[in-house]
Chain A
């Protein structure tokens, strides 16, 4: 189980301007694990530095009072369009599996998961 350091408790603390989201090499390793990206040990320092710079820039958001603002997920505030639940696609398994790295008997092959 991966756990990240908990957030400081209140929005007021963010708004105080005293807080800066410092991120450490350790955190980057945990995030990389969550994202399933291997990072070479020789590069981890530089990756941490770059991401720190990005997060520092992004942290300007913490100073904005958004207590009365609804989050906007779609720029047109559109809602999901639904269609009748009917089968409209044909089965194209052969075509899709033709571009897979490894298949056998219609199944995708991966390294053994359970011994």
Chain B
């Protein structure tokens, strides 16, 4: 039962082919047997998972079930879980047991979903390879010498290896889409503000957004139904009404206009990856869509803009980690200054420190206008580019990443080369748009992701296009060889 979609598992629970307790036990056993080689989970609480499954079975028996009742889900270790450690991949929060649930967790709990465990991630979601985690790197199930991508690398690897049928992730500059692409799964970053950020450890508040990671667009839609919606406790969450995100899946896409930004197909894109993306676009054309060349002329500015705004907001958000109220505290501080500086030296890893320093510099007196304000101005230009494109087309498509997954250690000593990995994903966060990555083939047995970008709050359209593509292709059904073994 482990190799089924969420939609199939929902049906299986309802027709009593298996119970949630059996299903949960199956995934827990797979985690126990296979995760040693992948390191995709930071925490697993078997007892709590099985208790939630038993409660879900009671709801199913009483016909009091929500759509996801009894479905096991892995949550990125960035979402606060009441009574269960939430580390955010950092030594700073290694001992942090939140006294409350994130709104996203509350919503899944109310649905009756089962929390399997908390997945590994780059420290404070800062990274594109999962190598910055305090708990060690995650390995890609397709080839354990490769990175799974990041920062939601644990979630992507866990789903790809069938250790969980679906997972949650967060995406500040590509952290759902890039690992989804590298691990051959489907991931959606919703519109900024679509999903509550309350209880999601903040990295860059004007960019952060949570979303689903699963095997199919249909599963992502089912998860988004549970996640999306206004939260009065998050003042940046959108009051826009939500919809049933599965309602448009079956719609034909003939007449759909798909924009191909010429900047996403030029220099820097790996040739073999470009070949796979071209084939995917031809498939969409065969389904009736029209391909239109468009331009995002400020694309070359997305990396510099992002690497001012994200570190600036991070340096502000991470100032809360002071060793006083929760989290790590250094031993025997001689005074308050020593307490702060040594706690933060010990608690944060190298990449997090670098970003705090860059952000502090960009916000410091005399430099604010030249860096932060400038980046906010260019950010508007980047958003305007997309708005102009959406006057001509319904969605935008291109590669999720410049190439397939790279080797562990290949870029970990060179921050700027790591930043370049996110060249096609960052702009979506800067513009606040919804974006997806959909499995679209392989290069040397490594998965390739097709990125779909939509208008604000047009998640339904993205999911519709991805679902139609998945009806015509089977890339999302391919499974890595390494997942054999463990309980079935």
Contacts and interface: CB of A to CB of B under 8 A. Distances in A.
Interface of A: 4-7, 14, 21, 23, 27-28, 31-32, 34-40, 47, 50-51, 53-55, 57-62, 64, 66, 69-76, 78, 80-81, 83, 92, 95-96, 98-102, 108, 110-113
B304 A57 contact: yes
Nearest to A72: B380
Contacts, number: 181
A21 to B, nearest CB: 8
Contacts of B353: 37, 39, 47
Given A35-B360, A57-B304, A61-B301, A73 B324 contact: no
Contact of A76 (B348, B375, B456): B456
Given A54-B358, A75-B431, 14 more contacts: A28-B357, A54-B354, A55-B361, A60-B304, A61-B304, A61-B305, A61-B378, A66-B377, A71-B373, A72-B379, A75-B429, A83-B232, A108-B325, A111-B335
- Residues of B contacting A: mostly: helix
B18 to A, nearest CB: 37
Contacts of A70: 377, 380
A71 B376 contact: yes
B430 interface: yes
Contacts of A108: 324-325
Nearest to B303: A57
Interface of B: 96-99, 191-193, 206-207, 232, 235-236, 238-239, 300-301, 303-305, 307-308, 315, 319, 322-327, 329, 333-342, 344-345, 348, 353-354, 356-358, 360-361, 364-367, 369-371, 373-381, 383, 415-416, 419, 429-433, 456
Contacts of A50: 354, 415
Contacts of B239: 81
Contact of A37 (B348, B374, B433): B348
Nearest to A60: B304
A111 B361 contact: no
Nearest 8 pairs between A and B by C-beta?
A75-B432, A71-B376, A66-B377, A101-B329, A38-B341, A38-B345, A72-B380, A95-B99
B354 A96 contact: no
A110 B354 contact: no
Contacts of B361: 23, 27, 31, 51, 55
B450 to A, nearest CB: 23
